[in-house]
Structure 1
């Protein structure tokens, strides 16, 4: 049984150029602290990117099974490589920590990985930095972040209103509570650290009704974010089914039914369309439409939406 096992694995990459996150207007480059993080978010699509990775082949297990059984893969040597590579970035570049695996997840914290990476980036380059995490432990590094505050933006992923944090905890078992993430964002703002909003993924039956979305947006707006990104749930891999099964098992079959519906590609498109229109209308109502960026993996064909805030990614 793998449950809770942490595998240390040394990669060759440190700082990577990211066309995808450049399209999203989030960053030009990315830094990640491993292959699979220990937050264990049931909807995570990262295992889908690792299907052919040699590590899992050598272990005799698929990336999906390893993740499903609670395993994580951390690279404690990441900061060393980042220090060697980051100097080529300029003040016109934005590096994002993290895009795939969280550098403040439990196994990363044991190596103080997020802070070590931050130090290398801030000391050895002039680039700007965007930190994204689901862990309030990032506030332990606000001291160094505050020193370089003009270069850094802090965001904590918001995936449910606080009123539903007991439900989201079932499918984000090792991430910080939603109230803790929002408190960390507010603390950053109070210290004069720049913030950005990341309301994503917007989960069916949890965050995609107007009242829940409004609660999440209101919480982020209290932190005066420079911009707010929002995104539907990615249908890639078994994440939707995994969320559905967990919710059903824990007596939330009514919410599980919302996940079940969007397994159908046509109904998933309806869910995305409704999210775009709802988020746009609420942002207009709350006078923040200029800050909203809705990320959609499509070219827009077939959608009947007000797309003034949409970034079509295909």
Structure 2
């Protein structure tokens, strides 16, 4: 189904960092809405989605004045102190319409004029590699974080059928890393995966961050529960993975197999500009496939 796209004039573009993002001074969302329409997206349970008549994933508002606003607001913010930006927290900055609008690219250009102290780019789209030429210019002040919830395409299709294929995401992250840009693989939310997952991430990620529904949806898993995600686990025969302790097995696996080459982080710590490593225990046994 074709998404309903609407140009809007936004009143602001930089939002103060709060909650899971309170280690950043601001979040930055070029769009409202997202056509990837992932079944587990926590934004489905936020007012921006709940108060719309259209179903999440079928509409996108394009903030046409985003670059102009960013130039103004970033200049003011830099005068007050260090500026660290998370792009994006409630949309994907590289969803398909970015091919035509180039709105996110225009924001990167503004940020190169008025550099923030740190920029975290969060996406699940291979399109991000289009902007390698700009991202390289940020030097050590940027991190590109690719959401790779699983290494299994059948699982990806069950939970996020309209999101980009996992192999394409991995290839994009590989090219970004080879360009000398700091990369992160975000297993967020962690979905059922194979024992080979760590080895697949080894050559493409400087950091691996694991998050799940209980740590990451902002409500201890209640928002996710209301979305009926457990039903998808049941349909795929993966009920055992729907557990607040499942992540511990994958965390240990990542630490043991690639922890000597990549930082292995957990939840909020893995999305901070300057993360701190913390120890985590080991959970129940899971059946990998």
Would the TM-score normalized by the shorter structure come out above 0.5? yes
Aligned to 1:77: 65
Aligned to 2:273: none
- Listed as ranges, the gaps of 5+ residues in structure 1 are 263-270, 297-306
Match status 1:177 vs 2:141: no
After TM superposition, give the deviation of residue 243 of structure 1 in Å.
4.4
- Picking from 200, 207, 211, the partner of 1:231 is 211
Matches within 5 A, 1:147-296: 147-161=137-151, 164-203=152-191, 206-207=192-193, 212=194, 214-225=195-206, 227-233=207-213, 234=217, 235-237=221-223, 241-243=227-229, 247=232, 253-255=235-237, 258=239, 262=242, 271-275=243-247, 277-288=248-259, 291-295=263-267
Match status 1:105 vs 2:95: yes
Provide, for residues 151-177 of structure 1, a one-character-per-residue CA deviation record: whole Å limited to 9, x for no partner: 22111100110xx21431343233221
TM-score (norm 2): 0.78
3-state DSSP class of the match of 2:244?
helix
- Listed as ranges, the gaps of 5+ residues in structure 2 are 269-277, 282-289
TM-score (norm 1): 0.72
Provide, for residues 131-162 of structure 1, a one-character-per-residue CA deviation record: whole Å limited to 9, x for no partner: 1111101111111112223322111100110x
3-state DSSP class of the match of 1:153?
strand
C-alpha distance in structure 1 between counterparts of 2:57 and 2:186, whole Å: 28
Provide, for residues 188-225 of structure 1, a one-character-per-residue CA deviation record: whole Å limited to 9, x for no partner: 1111111122111012xx23xxxx2x433333331241
RMSD in angstroms over aligned alpha carbons?
A: 3.1
Aligned to 1:46: 43
3-state DSSP class of the match of 1:6?
strand
Q: 1:69 to 1:232 in 2, by over 3 A?
A: closer
After TM superposition, give the deviation of residue 241 of structure 1 in Å.
4.1
Match status 1:34 vs 2:26: no
Q: 1:19 to 1:171 in 2, by over 3 A?
A: same
Equivalent residue pairs, number? 264
